[in-house]
């Protein structure tokens, strides 16, 4: 990958662009100065389709002037704006800078709208119709792609309406989750558990913790194998919100339910990531969004 980030490529683009513009100017000069020996009827002798003859007429002046303007414009544009590799241009313009400026203007425009919500706790905002209307729109624009428009999630994406939280469901924790994002990893555990039969027995024991359908005999045989999982999920299987380890006793299955699904998790491990939203949303927007998400699974204060 270093070959694609070396200094060669920006020099390549700069030289190729400059040479192309200069070549256009040379082409115009050559076509304007080169004399072609014409016949008596002012043709060059080139014939196509038996009767289509090329006349030896000069280029129209309007076309020549337009060509010159194009070349001059290209050089001027390259001087003012970033066109020659890493050269930033005299004006210092960049698409990133323009985007950042537009974002700042937009945030400044909506700041008064969020000022009234800033000092209110999430529990109070969850009962504010205007705040929740804004929170819903923020959710639709930034969260619904993964969690669904109804916030009920799907396989691999948590349901935000059921009160089951991997890292905790308080407004403060939700704010941290939205701001910083989360990265949950369960390593493959098959080697620590034993052979394939041990993994199947363990899967049945895990299912038994939530009262899900399971093979009781296999579950009893797999109980001792759960020691490999207890470090994260706890000896009782109730999980650990400090590290995002799921509660295995509540019959909520984020990555699929059943013997095969549990075995797949043990054999292959699981990796889930929620991206941080701090660069996309302001602190005031995250505050309102957190209140909205909290209200999805809690009764808002009146």
Three-state SS for the chain is: CHHHCCHHHHHHHHHHHHHHHHHHHHHHHHHHHCCCCCCCCCEEEEEECCCEEEECCCCCHHHHHHHHHHHHHHHHHHHHCCCCCCCCCCCCCCHHHHHHHHHHHHHHHHHHHHHCCCCCCHHHHCCCHHHHHHHHHHHHHHCHHHHCCCCCCECCECCCCCCCCCCCCCHHHHHHHHHHCEEEEECCCHHHHCCHHHHHHHHHHHHHHCCCCCCHHHHHHHHHHHHHHHHHHCCCCCCECCCCECCCCCCCCCCCCCHHHHHHHHHHCEEEEECCCCCCCCHHHHHHHHHHHHHHCCCCCC
Least Cα distance to 226 among 188, 257, 198, 267 occurs for 198
204: burial class by Cβ within 10 Å (0-12, 13-18, 19+)?
buried
Q: What pLDDT, on a 0 to 100 scale, did the predictor assign at position 2?
A: 54
Q: How far apart are alpha carbons 206 and 182 in whole angstroms? A: 25
CATH 1.10.760.10 describes domain 187-270? yes
Least Cα distance to 284 among 118, 35, 55, 66 occurs for 118
Q: How far apart are alpha carbons 189 and 96 in whole angstroms? A: 44
CATH 1.10.760.10 describes domain 120-181+275-296? yes
Q: What pLDDT, on a 0 to 100 scale, did the predictor assign at position 11?
A: 87
pTM for the model: 0.73
- pLDDT tens-place values along the chain, 302 residues long: 555 667 788 888 889 999 999 999 999 888 888 777 777 778 877 888 888 888 878 788 899 999 999 999 999 999 999 988 888 899 999 999 999 899 889 888 888 889 889 889 999 999 999 999 999 999 999 999 999 999 999 999 999 999 899 999 999 999 999 999 999 999 999 999 999 999 999 999 999 999 999 999 999 999 999 999 999 999 999 999 999 999 999 989 999 989 999 999 999 999 999 999 998 899 999 999 999 999 999 865 44
Please state the length of the chain. 302
Specify the pairing of strand 182-186 against strand 52-55. unpaired
């Amino acid at each position: 990958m270093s070959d694609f980030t070396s200094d060669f490529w920006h020099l390549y683009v700069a030289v190729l662009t400059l040479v192309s513009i200069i070549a256009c100017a040379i082409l115009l000069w050559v076509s304007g100065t080169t004399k072609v020996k014409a016949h008596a009827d002012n043709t060059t002798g080139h014939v196509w389709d038996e009767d289509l003859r090329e006349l030896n007429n000069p280029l129209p002046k309007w076309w020549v002037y337009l060509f010159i303007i194009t070349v001059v414009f290209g050089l001027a544009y390259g001087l003012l704006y970033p066109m020659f590799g890493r050269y930033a241009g005299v004006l210092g313009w960049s698409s990133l800078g323009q985007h950042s400026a537009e974002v700042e203007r937009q945030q400044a425009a909506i700041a008064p709208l969020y000022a009234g919500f800033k000092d209110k706790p999430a529990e109070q905002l969850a009962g504010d119709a205007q705040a929740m209307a804004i929170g819903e729109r923020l959710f639709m624009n930034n969260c619904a792609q993964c969690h669904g428009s109804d916030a009920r999630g799907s396989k691999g994406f948590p349901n935000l309406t059921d009160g089951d939280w991997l890292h905790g469901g308080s407004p403060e924790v939700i704010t941290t989750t939205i701001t910083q994002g989360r990265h949950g990893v369960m390593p493959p555990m098959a080697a620590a558990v034993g052979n394939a039969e041990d993994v199947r027995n363990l899967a049945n024991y895990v299912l038994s913790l939530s009262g899900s359908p399971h093979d009781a005999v296999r579950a009893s045989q797999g109980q001792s194998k759960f020691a490999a999982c207890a470090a994260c999920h706890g000896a009782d299987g109730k999980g650990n919100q400090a590290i995002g380890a799921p509660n295995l006793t509540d019959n909520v299955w984020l990555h699929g339910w059943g013997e095969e699904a549990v075995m797949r998790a043990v054999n292959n491990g699981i990796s889930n990531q929620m991206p941080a939203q701090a660069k996309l949303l302001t602190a005031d927007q995250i505050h309102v969004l957190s209140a909205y998400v909290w209200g999805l699974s809690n009764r808002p204060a009146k």
